[in-house]
A and B are shown apart, each in its own frame.
Chain A
């Protein structure tokens, strides 16, 4: 299985169509093409972090500044960012539009991803973070726009889970 270049383009186009101007991210295999597209786009501000919790702070700064921002991370990075999500974003009512690569789920061949994959949805529910699954490249753009819209009307984190169906060929 390989990462889908075509579907990554569809996701990136969805990000652009949502009006997003800056992205904070930590590289992960499924996000490789997305990060390349962002890095090569002169209109996009890409900030690569050392650990995902930093991205919650960066997203808050961008939000305060009025810049349309989106976070790209793997689900294990989401797990690593939880205190920032709770004690910055939720505490201060700061929207987060998070695109999360759902590793360790249906079809996952690598054992090291599976613990995180199994608990991700329950952790999202526990944190009261609305989430949807992105499986279809024809629909992902609309899903990104809607995730962004909900995050900013609710002033709350919202997650779109990037699934294997979408991210692998």
Chain B
């Protein structure tokens, strides 16, 4: 299974969600499908994509937040799985593409290579209520559809090949991505405190 194919399969579902990616290949593969201003690519600070997702999900409880992450990044911030599980934001979906490799930084095998470390078991042990471990496109799509549908913290560990895009580059500078992402939220998402109860946190317009 290829990560790019997985991202392509869920791409149509991401138009109304807040999406945060980790660095390198994962960010580029989402970008290559067509950038949207509700996508934020964390090109450094490995491990913090999930923490950004938690901050977004806790602040905007009625909007789905999707984190596209990698095994190398998650291994750098394992505590974040426990913090997510402690607060269990119902609107947070953390997808970990596990290629067993630090692909974007030299291709060295990660701790998950050859099944040594099982991130799904770690996520369950951290207390995440819904954890799926998938290795086929069909299972990935089913797990992703379930996670997008249910209102409960969900982690999907998707076993993928250690391959990435053949080129890197985006049309904007990094701070511009942050500015546009923040503006998209301000313009499209009503904050719970600013809206009547029936409209809490919903997407205003697309």
> Which residues does A use to contact B, with CB under 8 Å?
21-22, 24, 45, 47-51, 53-67, 69, 83-84, 86-88, 91-94
- Which of the candidate stretches B77-85, B104-112, B117-125, B145-153 sits at the interface with the other chain? B77-85
Number of chain B interface residues as a range: 35 or more
Contact of A88 among B42, B79, B185, B193 (CB under 8 A): B42
Residues of the A chain whose Cβ atoms lie less than 8 Å from the Cβ of B181: 64
Verify A87–B52 contact, CB threshold 8 A: no
Residue of B nearest to A58 (CB): B55
Contacts of B87 in A (CB 8 A): 47
Inter-chain contact A54/B86, CB cutoff 8 Å: no
Q: How far is the CA of A123 from the CA of B5 in the complex (A)?
A: 44
B57 CB within 8 Å of chain A = yes
Chain B residues whose C-beta falls within 8 Å of the C-beta of A94 in the assembled complex: 178
Contact (Cβ within 8 A) A58 B45: no
Q: Is B42 a contact partner of A65 (Cβ separation < 8 A)?
A: no
Most chain A CB neighbours (cut-off 10 Å) among B59, B79, B82, B177: B59
The answer to whether residues A54 and B83 also contact, given A22-B59, A45-B58, A88-B45 and a CB cut-off of 8 A, is: yes
Interface SS of chain A: helix, strand, loop or mixed? helix
Which of A21, A50, A64 is B56 in contact with, Cβ under 8 Å?
Answer: A64
Question: Which residues from 160 to 187 on chain B have a C-beta closer than 8 Å to any C-beta of chain A?
Answer: 174-175, 177-179, 181-182, 185-186
- The residue that B177 contacts in the complex, of A49, A60, A92, with Cβ under 8 A, is A92
What is the minimal beta-carbon distance from B70 to any residue of chain A, in angstroms? 15
What does the 1/0 interface line of B48-61 toward A look like (CB < 8 Å)? Answer: 11111111111110
Q: Are B44 and A61 in contact (CB under 8 A)?
A: no
In the complex, what distance in Å separates the CA atom of A87 from the CA atom of B48?
A: 10
Do residues A64 and B185 form an inter-chain contact, with CB atoms below 8 A?
yes
Q: Is A48 a contact of B55 with CB atoms below 8 Å?
A: no
A92 touches B48 (CB 8 A): no
Q: Is the CB of A63 within 8 A of B48?
A: no
Residue of A nearest to B81 (CB): A50
Q: Considering the complex, which residues of chain B in the window 20-72 have a beta carbon less than 8 Å from any beta carbon of chain A?
A: 20, 40, 42-45, 47-60
Residue among A64, A84, A88 with max Cβ neighbours from chain B (10 Å): A64
In Å, the complex CA distance between A132 and B78 comes to 33
Check B44 against A57 for contact (C-beta < 8 Å).
no
Known: A22-B58, A47-B87. 7 other contacts (CB 8 A): A49-B79, A50-B82, A61-B57, A64-B56, A65-B56, A65-B185, A92-B174
How far apart are the CA atoms of A73 and B189 in the complex, in Å?
A: 30
Kindly state the separation between the CA atoms of A51 and B186 in the bound complex, as whole angstroms: 29
Say whether B51 contacts A56, CB under 8 Å.
yes
Q: Could you show 8 A-B contacts with beta carbons less than 8 Å apart? A: A50-B83, A51-B77, A54-B48, A54-B79, A57-B45, A61-B58, A62-B59, A66-B185
Complex interface: chain B residues within 8 A of A47 (CB): 54-55, 58, 83, 87
Q: Which residues of B contact A54 (CB under 8 A)?
A: 48, 51, 54, 77, 79-80, 83
